[in-house]
Structure 1
Amino acid sequence: MEGRTGGMEGKLVMVRQELGGAGGSGHVLTRDSINQNVVQAEYAVRGKLYAAAQARSKAGKQVILTNVGNPQALGQKPITFPRQVLALVTHPPLMERAKSLGIPSDAVQRAQEYLAAVGSTGAYQDSRGNALVRKQVADFITRRDGFPADPDSVFLTDGAGVGITLCMRTAIRGRHDGVMMPIPQYPLYSATVEVMNGTKVGYFLDESNEWGMDIAELDRAYNDAVASGVTPRIIVVINPGNPTGMCLTMENLKDVLMWCARRRVVLFADEVYQTNIYKPDTRPFISFKKALGELGGSAQCSTELVSFNTVSKGALGECGRRGAYFEVVNVDSKVVDEIYKLLSMNLSSNVDGQIYVGLMCQPPVPGDPSFPLYNMEMNSIIESLKRRALRLARTFNTMEGVQCTEVTSSMYAFPQITLPPAAIEAARQAGHKPDEFYCLELLDQTGICVVPGSGFGQKDSTFHFRTTILPPESMFDDIIERFTSFHAKFMRQYGGAKAKL
């Protein structure tokens, strides 16, 4: 008996040693022993450039973080009305002093409504989200599009990324399931699909046509995937574009919806920048829900649609509140129940974020005491972003070997750079991708942190970088001087833009 026990213990020791755990050397969890899908996933927005920027900051050197759309981190002031309401809801005794604190009556009334609906911001809500807020979202969508929205088709989440990840988890079953995503794309999608063990299927946006979508290119990507044994189940469309800064036309939206119906692909519409619109007369935001309604809804176009929105962008810029929603349209009710079940595992999204979603969707209106200040603050932020977007794109287009599509929406510019062969060789010798090398040099010499285009995807033989337009206007003269001076020096050092490799 003792010999048999010793034999079993010996086998256990061997297993532990193989795993690197107790009884062996090292850790149970190592980079080689964890889920390799996690290791393979890349998220460039917080990748090598961000790590280098953090190291620079720790060394006491200035860093200007233009790598991520985080408005308030770069000095954007919060809008007053929603902050007043949230303060009252979070600490109800303040309502007794609201008048002396200069808080308008409509903010008090709104806080009372939310308190009656949630009970306390410290209490779990329904896993789908608070019913009052979901109704406010549905009313907003109905006003925006002219077609009805059902509150029970609305889900509230801790930021849009959580909703996107949850819906991806519901749909992706394995490597044979493909997710079509734009190139360039916000890397949340490629990283999430990798972790979910799905397959990324890239389709190229047309840079020569203001980053529009081409149906022939969608067919090409779909057919190539099928030929390799992968069936695309989802297509991601980011509109307004990230990182491209462009809005799609109604014609383009309808073509994509009909393509989805024909190919039987579910459409994920990332519409988080829908209020960051700088040329509303010529390039307005149009939701996929509105385009679907104009096609006759499920009667003519049966496309299954999931659309996402958040309080993190727009003029609110409340990234830290982690408030968002998604709406499902034409989705099987039993699948909706399964999504609800997944949400239930986390019990409830954060209540402050839910309330902020409601405030985004039901802002003050003309006649309300808070409207004049609210309207002034919102317009001031959007108009300032518009000026910054125009100025930055114009600046890039004056630089040698740089081309930048006009930024008509979102928070980003995505210029293309023609790098000299000597710079490409220097990047190779340093062990970096060419655009990554350019961005690291930019950071080292100016403190400006951008993201290389390779982190978002780009056509072979092209190089880009993404920068936000978020630094305050008071810094723009300095930032533009840093960009132009660095670029001129870089091109002199490496021989100018003589070839696009």
Structure 2
Amino acid sequence: MFSRNMMPSTNCIVTNSIKKVKGKDFLSLRIVDLTQRPRLLASARARGDRLLTLDNLNPCIKAMEYAVRGPLVTRALEIEKELKQGTKNLFNEVIKANIGDSQAMRQTPITFVRQVMALVTYPELMKISIFPDDVKERAKLLLSGCGGESAGAYPLSPGNEFVCRHVAEYIEKRDGFPCDSKNIILCAGATEGIKQILKLLICETEGLKPAIMVPVPQYPLYSSTATEFGMRQVDYYLDESRGWALTTKELTRALNDAKGLCNPRALVVINPGNPTGQVLTKENIEEIINFAYEKGLILLADEVYQNNIYDKNSEFHSFKKVMMEMGPPYSEMELASFMSSSKGYTGECGFRGGYIEMINFEPEVKATFLKSIVAIHCSTLGQVAVDCVVKPPEPGQPSYELFIREKTAVLKSLAERAEMVANTFNSIEGMSCNAVQGAMYAFPQIYLPDKAIQIAGKQQISPDTYYALQLLENTGICIVPGSGFGQKEGTHHFRTTILPQHKKLKKMLQKFRTFHEEFLKKHK
């Protein structure tokens, strides 16, 4: 608090920043004399100092964390370089089980997708007879929606009209309810779409910062984006003892705890779950929709893994379909749902394609949203990938048989690997793992000895980070510590993908077993 004789003059401003001291946040105030600013800047330039430093960098960006590509991955890349340079190690390769990048793990691309991309990129190839007629027809149609019929032209901000129309047809067929192609916006992967929607919510109300309700464990995109945008995150915990179930009781608890601290505006649901791999039942989705309606929350449905269902007793139900089946007033709620070409059976992460469906938003809000993304374009190849996902070859077309064979093989293999991963972790002492019903990940709980927890404390890292670092240095397996996704206090987890191909996955799991047994002995 300033006393009267300490108040700055009109030529001064008071700046503030948050500084961490021994893990706690403190408000630091500084008086800046504006009349001295030119002299100080000139002096800084003369010394060769940079104008942008950590001291004046956006504090929200500094506070961001994204565990999937965090320090462990940096170390994994360093080890990989060392191995290429001939450094001797306990292993001869790094297995990157930290991220859902199918083709980095040698998943074979779907022929139809790559053929259409090839022709869109280089139409001269249409003269070659090796390309089926349906591939050529699709490429011509997509090119007709591009400026100058060229993939190199700027695409429209909402996306190629033919792709938007095909997305709407896909949703109609999936849900059995009408879908307006004007509600479809193509985006550079679901990640970009989610961030653009979250931007709409950045508005303080009665002095309270906006917040989003996020499942824990959660995909770090949500926590990092909330931090970047200066929003708050309201955590609701999934119940591990019940297969990562989502309960309205826990949603109510989380919302009540947030009262007076922030203004929750949206409820995020990830189905199938990342990192937890659970698939919501229709009844559970109905409960969630009812909760969101009663509490006045916009629904954000992250449904990028809708094609990745492995459990025979599970089925994907879209939030839109369930809302529509429930009828008014639920069918009139605001919902933004997200889908991607990076997941499923295509795994085309590098082309960055995805879509948003926005339903029941005010026309003025949607118009403002479209205005906000006018300079943000989904690449033409990303849109092609989305088009191939939502409108694959149909029976009777030349590409159909090969497409079905490849799609079936990918999903069958993923289902086998999902079962293999859960069964293996459940057979290892000191580990437990819920069934991987869908998505591409397992999130096992590990029971760490006190000695390991004490060592981690001395190193000022979380116990599961210590475990993951030891695993990487001794086996070359790169995973993500559970603390990067959030977890109940006192529990320790890690996320691993199920994406390494069978032979490599089997090898990885055996190395996991040996390491974990030796880790327990070493830290008894």
TM-score, with length taken from structure 2: 0.89
Alignment equivalent of 1:263, drawn from 295, 316, 319:
295
Alpha-carbon distance in structure 1 between the residues aligned to 2:329 and 2:34? 66
Match of 2:439, SS state, is coil
SS of residue paired to 2:496:
strand
Q: Deviations over 1:288-320 (max 9, x none)?
A: 011111111x44443211000000000100000
What amino acid is the match of 1:184?
A: P
In the alignment, which residue of structure 2 is the partner of 1:284? Answer: 315
Q: Percent same amino acid among aligned pairs?
A: 43
Match of 2:221 among 179, 188, 199: 188
Give the paired residue count. 479
Q: Which residue, out of 72, 77, 85, partners 1:49? A: 72
Contact 2:96 2:477 in 1 (8 A): yes
Find the aligned partners of 1:391 and 1:11 in 2 and give their Cα distance.
64
Q: Which residue in 1 is equivalent to 2:45?
A: 22
Distance 2:330 2:317 in 1: 19
CA–CA distance in 1 between the matches of 2:491 and 2:188? 36
Task: Work out whether 1:364 is the aligned partner of 2:393.
Answer: yes
Amino acid aligned to 1:50: V
Q: Is the 8 A contact 1:178 1:225 kept in 2?
A: no
RMSD between aligned residues: 1.5
Distance in structure 2 (CA, Å) of the matches to 1:241 and 1:477: 24
Alignment equivalent of 2:56, drawn from 22, 29, 33: 33
Query: Are 2:391 and 1:391 aligned?
Result: no
1:310 aligns with 2:336: no
Aligned with 1:312: secondary structure? Answer: coil
Distance 2:444 2:264 in 1: 30
**CA displacement at 1:56 relative to structure 2:** 1.1
Tell me if the contact between 2:498 and 2:505 (Cα under 8 Å) persists in the aligned partners.
no
User: Which residue matches 1:244?
Assistant: 276
The one-letter amino acid paired with 1:397 is N
Q: C-alpha distance in 2, partners of 1:271/1:151? A: 18
Distance in 1 of aligned mates of 2:267 and 2:72 = 29
SS in 2 for 1:59: helix
Of 376-385 and 337-346, deviating more is 337-346
Aligned to 1:437: 466
Residue correspondence of structure 1 range 27-176 to structure 2 within 5 A: 27-60=50-83, 62-97=93-128, 99=129, 102-118=130-146, 119-174=149-204, 176=209
Q: Is the 8 A contact 2:271 2:279 kept in 1?
A: yes
Letter in 1 for 2:101: N
Which residue of 258, 276, 285 corresponds with 1:225?
A: 258
2:367 corresponds to 1:334? no
Q: Is the 8 A contact 1:13 1:24 kept in 2?
A: no
- AA at the equivalent of 1:103: F
Structure 1 pair 8–212 and aligned structure 2 pair: CA distance change class (3 A):
closer
1:12 aligns with one of 31, 34, 38: 38
Shift of 1:117: 2.1
Query: 1: CA distance between counterparts of 2:514 and 2:52?
Result: 47
- Secondary structure at 2:438 match in 1: coil
Q: Secondary structure at the match of 1:160?
A: helix
For 1:260 and 1:11, how far apart are their aligned partners in 2? 50
Residues 428 and 322 of structure 1, relative CA distance in 2, 3 Å threshold: same
- Structure 1 ranges of 4+ moved more than 4 A: 7-11
Q: Secondary structure at the match of 1:443?
A: helix
Tell me the residue number matched to 1:202: 235
What letter corresponds to residue 231 of structure 1 in structure 2?
N
Distance 1:95 1:437, change over 3 A: same
For 1:390 and 1:349, the matched residues in 2 are separated by: 35
Larger mean CA deviation between 111-120 and 184-193 belongs to 111-120
C-alpha distance in 1, partners of 2:437/2:471?
25
- Equivalent position of 2:21 in the other structure: none
- Displacement of 1:213 after TM fit? 0.9
Looking at structure 1, the residues matched to 385 and 300 of structure 2 have their Cα atoms a distance apart, in angstroms, of: 23
User: Is the Cα contact below 8 Å between 1:72 and 1:318 reproduced in 2?
Assistant: yes
Shift of 1:9: 8.4
The answer to whether structure 1 residue 323 and structure 2 residue 353 are counterparts is yes
Displacement of 1:14 in angstroms is 2.3
User: Which segment is superposed worse, 354-363 or 25-34?
Assistant: 25-34
What is the letter of the counterpart of residue 257 of structure 2? D
Provide the rounded CA distance (Å) in 2 between the counterparts of 1:246 and 1:188: 18
**Residues 170-211 of structure 1: per-residue CA shift (max 9 Å, x gap):** 112256111110100000100001110111111101111111
Helix, strand or coil for the counterpart of 1:22? helix
- Match for 1:140: what amino acid? Y
Structure 2 unaligned runs (5+)?
1-32, 84-91
Counterpart residue identity of residue 63, structure 2: Q
Cα distance in 2 between the residues matched to 1:9 and 1:222:
48
Question: What corresponds to 1:474 in structure 2?
Answer: 503
SS in 2 for 1:463: coil
Question: 1:295 maps to which residue?
Answer: 326
> Are 1:261 and 1:302, in contact at CA under 8 Å, matched by a contact in 2?
no
C-alpha separation between the residues in 2 aligned to 1:448 and 1:345? Answer: 40
Q: Hey, what does 1:3 align to over in structure 2? A: none
Alignment partner of 2:186: what SS?
strand
Asked if structure 2 preserves the Cα contact closer than 8 Å seen for 1:173 and 1:198, the reply is no
- Cα displacement (A) at 1:23: 3.9
The answer on whether the counterparts of 1:183 and 1:458 sit within 8 Å (CA) in structure 2 is yes
With over 3 angstroms needed to count, the CA separation of the structure-2 counterparts of 1:465 and 1:8, relative to structure 1, is closer
1:265 CA drift (Å): 0.6
Q: Deviations over 1:153-186 (max 9, x none)?
A: 0000111111111111111225611111010000
Q: Which stretch has the larger CA shift, 150-159 or 471-480?
A: 471-480
C-alpha separation in 2, matches of 1:71 and 1:443: 20
Partner residue of 2:267 out of 235, 238, 260: 235
Write the letter of the residue equivalent to 2:256: N
Q: Which amino acid aligns with 2:143?
A: L
Deviations 1:132-169 (A, max 9, x none): 10000000000001111110000001111111111111
- Work out whether residues 258 and 301 of structure 1, in 8 Å CA contact, stay in contact via their aligned partners in 2: no
Residues of 1 paired with 2:265 and 2:46: CA distance? 45
Written as runs of structure 1 = structure 2, the 5 A alignment for 1:400-415 is: 400-415=429-444
| Residues 131 and 451 (structure 1), Cα distance of their counterparts in 2 relative to 1, 3 Å cut | same
Q: Name which of structure 1's ranges 134-143 and 80-89 shifts more when overlaid on structure 2.
A: 80-89
Give the Cα separation in 1 of the matches to 2:176 and 2:242: 29
After superposition, give the CA deviation of every residue in 1:72-125 in whole Å (9 maximum; x if it has no partner): 00100100011111111111111111x1xx221111111121122221111112
For residue 8 of structure 1, report the CA deviation from its aligned partner. Answer: 9.5
